[in-house]
Structure 1
Amino acid sequence: MRSSKWLLPVRALLAYQVLLLLLRRVEGEESHCTSVAGMVKLLDLEARLIDNLEDYAAELEKKLETVRRSINSLRLENDRARGSTEEYLSNPLNAFSLIRRMNRDWIIWQLYMDDPVGIAQVERIQELREHMPTHTDVEEAVTALDRIQSTYGLNVSDIAQGLLNGKQYNVSLTVLDTYAMAQILFDQKNYLAAASWIYQSAVLMEVYTLAAPLQISKNEVRMVYTETLLKLNQNADALKVVNIALADNPQDIKLLLKKSEIETMIRTGTNNAAAAKGQAKGGTTAYQMGCRGQFPPSADGKLYCLYNRTTSAFLMLAPLKMELVGLDPYMVLYHDVLSAKEIKELQGMATPGLTRATVFQASSGRNEVVKTRTSKVAWFPDSYNPLTVRLNARIADMTGFNLYGSEMLQLMNYGLGGHYDQHYDFFNTINSNLTAMSGDRIATVLFYLTDVEQGGATVFPNIRKAVFPQRGSVIMWYNLQDNGQTDNKTLHAACPVIVGSKWVCNKWIREREQIFSRPCLKKPI
């Protein structure tokens, strides 16, 4: 039989273990939100957790049923005794049974009530916790949603209600969602964005009530809102929030102290030095305009569409639909290049091996994970299988380039708010390990494997051009000028995905083997 003294340490230990698991970051674990394909397994994991919670409920119901069944029999005996107390107690058998019950049965009931329910289910959550998102994952998800909001100029209230860039979806955020956004943005010192999200939390709390054990108090939300407004030097508005909170809790010491503090700040004209970090930035950038589809149509009358039959001999038999996008730098868009079967095979190849994308850092001389690129990638050699062989042959037909010495095919899947900030594809380094063997990246070939419902455009801000993903199409551009120098007009970016799963495949073609394909260099490299 368990003693009650033993039960308390067990509960404390379980709580401590759960807390450790909640705070622990599993070393080397991939980010969950940087790829839609990578997030699929989270739904399966959540289903297992729900099943586990259902098992916990069954254990509780089983214990409750035992208690309720015993209450009926215990109540029946007690009522019988109290109905004729003297007669009942004068019988030695009843007297003995009462003494025995009071001495032993209720001790057993005490232990039964104190016995924790669901230890197996708690342990199961502990086992699954290693595969669940960490606090770092939540921070990345918050940053991604904030990136969508700022890049596309969306209202926080619209996002919370499922209205994304003018399109209404059958989904909305809860108070817990908006509150988490506010808390993390506040911790990141992004006070302006945090203020919008915490205000939305306050609005939602007036309409919806959270059920236990996930409830949060209105005062908690109001206090965070107050601190956020103070960081923005909006002291008068912060005082209004505190007064609203005091109307519900006039004797709250913390609120009264905060009110006094703010009134002193207003009276003395005290401002918060950190406020500058949370202020709004300037107007819309060229990058944001491109992502929003606000670039004007090209005025270059030389651009046109045609069937390309000349780049290779094979195209005389199977020409490709080519759209000339730009001449400086040279940029073309090919349509209907990939079949549905090929796209499905490429996605199937990549999904098991997707890992977080990295960017080469000249300062460290190695590839590193950076916040400016959020996607997952998989690499495949040219001769990996018949499909990669065909794909490389198709690239050669489209570009007229020799692919010997070029980089492997890179398949990418973007996740929540997935993007790649403004960058160049060329290395712009001489005699380094990156370019010594095969030269710099003369051209980029980018396949779009999927349509993207909203967002995800490839934007060239310096030349005011944007290409939106079309399933099966390919965009190709030159990164180097005719004289072999880098072309700064090729600055480009992958805009954040709003809704959809963006899959792309790219090939970076190196310059060294193009001496006969493009022999127009004016000086040696």
Structure 2
Amino acid sequence: MTNMRILQFLSALLLLLIQPKIALGDVFSAVAGMEVLVATESELVKHLDTYIQEEENRMKQLRGFLKEYENMNQEASVDASKYLANPINAYLLVKRLTSDWKKVEKVMSQNSGSAFVKNITQHRSVLLFPSDDDLKGAAVALMRLQDTYKLDTHALAEGNLLGKKYSRHLTAGDCWELGRQSYNNGDHYHTVLWMAEALNKFEKESSKTVAKENILDYLAFSTFKQGNLEEALQLTDELLNIVPYHERAIGNKKHYEKLLRQRGIVYRKGEGVNANLSEPFNTANLKLTKPAGSTDNWDVYEKLCRGEKLMDLKIEGSLRCRYITRNVPFFFIQPIKMEEASLKPLIVVYHDVISDEEIATVKKLAQPKFQRATVQKRETGEREVSTFRIAKSSWLKNEEHEYVLKIDRRIGDITGLDMATAEDLQVCNYGIGGHYEPHYDYARKGEVQKDFGWGNRIATWLFYMSDVEAGGATVFPKLNLSLWPKKGSAAFWYNLDPNGEGNDFTQHAACPVLTGSKWVSNKWIHERNQEFRRPCGLQPDSEML
């Protein structure tokens, strides 16, 4: 602490002492009159000592924050892309720049740091700060990964993904923040899991990162909401042992006891599956209900995302790979490698159909225009942001670069379709837990889709512009099919049958990205101009490619 700040403090204190209501007059004229100054000086010394201790503690706190930020930033700066490919690292970065940074600002603003805080605030238009919504989104993404890939809460908190150490461990405070975000979303299942982990970590921490009563407050109520009444009462009793006059806990305790009496259950303090809170809190002994998925095939969707083999072996055994030329002169020199992924409906993967240079150019063109990816409203066809789809995207027109035009022509040559009625190239990048829940690309009955006067989306072409370390598959739940991203390849399928009706089996989804960064680009091709390129078959279910 500087001498100037001490003088400022002394000046403020002396100003109080010379106020008329407490003025002492000629204190120097008599020793008796000066005795009161000894008490004054004692009070000043006590307050000054307290002030210095508080400032030293404040500086100690700030040095701790600085050391943590420096360590994290050094690790991230080595290879930012690789660092952020880990969902835990990405979440912690957002947390450090939202809730954690608010703690730093609060400590700084207690004194002269307020000027620095003001300066930082003025630069928020230049510096990129995540919002509270970003923190919420990052937390929800981790829950999504946890559920989809059946990640153990403790392992995830220790930085382990699928048996491999990816990052540093989460503190009790980090776990508490994840639980709090779940609670705010009305998700008591994940609140219990993460508050329980926070409680277990709290007991082992030498430097506490969160107050125990804060953990118990959320854990008790969410345990109750998940149907574990006796355990909720035990946790509430423990909370009241720490904070006897906790108003909410007192009210909840009475409510829980009343419900137990109505059920004819005799509650005895100190009994139950987690009665001894000096032992690790075990969520396996609780009745926990995971939130339901958004579609009927949600369980199949998650299994496919995890790489579980669900396709009938006879169907899988009938699939073939081959070279095709499409009567395009260039393809006679370098045929296209085609892999069948499904026969009914016909879904194929073309390999090595976009170069690294083209991919790099497309990414470079798309990134400055990135916005949060949207979905179409069923009723109006208007596009809106939704948790249904977590990614950023932009659109590239053919005239923006020769590579974009070449890609468009190549898709037309391979598919044999007229690209005049295809939408612009959409480029997407999936972030922390980025996904797109099961959906259809075509407009079903009752849905409105912007068709540009071109009719429904007859087909989908999907480029994979990056490899993905873990997760990120394209899955078709009704076909038990998973397509795994491979840089340079592309998936293609018809959304509509030859008779123009939508094919229900083309429902598909983009699985959450567990580790890595997933880049894709796609073309949606419409019905108009395809009448002679993809004519109706003799049978309603005729397939051609």
Find the partner of 1:178 among 153, 169, 175: 175
CA distance in 2 between counterparts of 1:244 and 1:471 reads 54
How many angstroms does 1:385 deviate by? 0.8
Q: Name the count of aligned residue pairs.
A: 432
State whether residues 449 and 504 of structure 1, in contact with CA within 8 Å, keep that contact through their aligned partners in structure 2.
Answer: yes
Aligned residue runs from structure 1 range 467-486, under 5 A: 467-486=483-502
How many angstroms does 1:201 deviate by? 0.5
| Aligned-partner SS, 2:389 | coil
Question: Match of 1:454?
Answer: 470
CA distance in 1 between counterparts of 2:534 and 2:419 reads 13
Q: Among the aligned pairs, what percent are the same residue? A: 33
Question: Match of 1:262?
Answer: 256
State whether residues 484 and 521 of structure 1, in contact with CA within 8 Å, keep that contact through their aligned partners in structure 2.
Answer: no
CA distance in 2 between counterparts of 1:229 and 1:53 reads 28
CA deviations on 1:413-453 (whole Å, 9 max, x unpaired) are 00111010111111246997733622211111100111111
Is 1:506 the counterpart of 2:522? The answer is yes
Q: Aligned letter for 1:378?
A: S
Is 1:223 the counterpart of 2:224? The answer is no
How many angstroms does 1:516 deviate by? 2.0
State whether residues 326 and 414 of structure 2, in contact with CA within 8 Å, keep that contact through their aligned partners in structure 1.
Answer: no
CA deviations on 1:17-43 (whole Å, 9 max, x unpaired) are xxxxxxxxxxxxxxxxxx979x99x97
Aligned residue runs from structure 1 range 384-403, under 5 A: 384-403=400-419
Long gaps (5+) in structure 2: 1-7, 16-83, 266-285, 541-545
CA distance in 1 between counterparts of 2:362 and 2:451 reads 28
CA deviations on 1:93-134 (whole Å, 9 max, x unpaired) are xxxxxxxxxxxxxxxxxxxxxx93123211123234564222
CA distance in 1 between counterparts of 2:180 and 2:226 reads 15
Find the partner of 1:310 among 312, 317, 326: 326
TM-score, structure 2 as length reference: 0.70
Find the partner of 1:287 among 301, 320, 325: 301
How many angstroms does 1:502 deviate by? 0.4
CA deviations on 1:214-272 (whole Å, 9 max, x unpaired) are x421122112211111222312112322344456667878766655553343223399x
Question: Match of 1:145?
Answer: 142
Q: Aligned letter for 2:222?
A: T
CA distance in 2 between counterparts of 1:191 and 1:46 reads 24
Question: Match of 2:132?
Answer: 135
Question: Match of 1:517?
Answer: 533
State whether residues 187 and 291 of structure 2, in contact with CA within 8 Å, keep that contact through their aligned partners in structure 1.
Answer: no
CA distance in 2 between counterparts of 1:293 and 1:123 reads 50
Question: Match of 1:196?
Answer: 193
Question: Which deviates further from its counterpart, 465-474 or 340-349?
Answer: 340-349
CA deviations on 1:27-74 (whole Å, 9 max, x unpaired) are xxxxxxxx979x99x979989x999999999x99xxxxxxxxxxxxxx
When residues 175 and 391 of structure 1 are mapped into structure 2, their CA distance, relative to the original with a 3 A threshold, is same
* Structure 1 vs Structure 2 CA RMSD: 3.9
Is 1:405 the counterpart of 2:450? The answer is no
State whether residues 345 and 506 of structure 2, in contact with CA within 8 Å, keep that contact through their aligned partners in structure 1.
Answer: yes
Find the partner of 1:163 among 137, 156, 160: 160
Question: Match of 1:236?
Answer: 230
Find the partner of 2:116 among 103, 115, 121: 121
CA distance in 1 between counterparts of 2:405 and 2:381 reads 31
Is 1:335 the counterpart of 2:351? The answer is yes
TM-score, structure 1 as length reference: 0.73
Long gaps (5+) in structure 1: 8-34, 61-114
State whether residues 455 and 495 of structure 1, in contact with CA within 8 Å, keep that contact through their aligned partners in structure 2.
Answer: yes
When residues 270 and 447 of structure 1 are mapped into structure 2, their CA distance, relative to the original with a 3 A threshold, is farther
How many angstroms does 1:152 deviate by? 1.7
Q: Aligned letter for 1:136?
A: D
Find the partner of 2:436 among 420, 426, 434: 420
Question: Match of 1:296?
Answer: 310
State whether residues 291 and 455 of structure 1, in contact with CA within 8 Å, keep that contact through their aligned partners in structure 2.
Answer: yes
Q: Aligned letter for 2:303?
A: M
Question: Match of 1:362?
Answer: 378
CA distance in 2 between counterparts of 1:329 and 1:132 reads 46
Question: Which deviates further from its counterpart, 199-208 or 311-320?
Answer: 311-320
Q: Aligned letter for 1:204?
A: K
Q: Aligned letter for 2:158?
A: Q
CA deviations on 1:347-387 (whole Å, 9 max, x unpaired) are 11111110011111131331111110111101011222111
CA distance in 2 between counterparts of 1:341 and 1:176 reads 44
State whether residues 428 and 440 of structure 1, in contact with CA within 8 Å, keep that contact through their aligned partners in structure 2.
Answer: no
CA distance in 2 between counterparts of 1:240 and 1:277 reads 17
Question: Match of 2:71?
Answer: none
Find the partner of 1:321 among 332, 337, 352: 337
CA distance in 2 between counterparts of 1:404 and 1:43 reads 44
When residues 44 and 487 of structure 1 are mapped into structure 2, their CA distance, relative to the original with a 3 A threshold, is closer
CA distance in 1 between counterparts of 2:298 and 2:163 reads 18
State whether residues 376 and 449 of structure 2, in contact with CA within 8 Å, keep that contact through their aligned partners in structure 1.
Answer: no
Question: Which deviates further from its counterpart, 371-380 or 217-226?
Answer: 217-226
CA distance in 1 between counterparts of 2:358 and 2:506 reads 29
When residues 322 and 254 of structure 1 are mapped into structure 2, their CA distance, relative to the original with a 3 A threshold, is closer
Question: Which deviates further from its counterpart, 392-401 or 423-432?
Answer: 423-432
> Which structure is higher in RCO with an 8 Å CA cutoff and minimum separation 6?
1
CA distance in 2 between counterparts of 1:51 and 1:250 reads 31
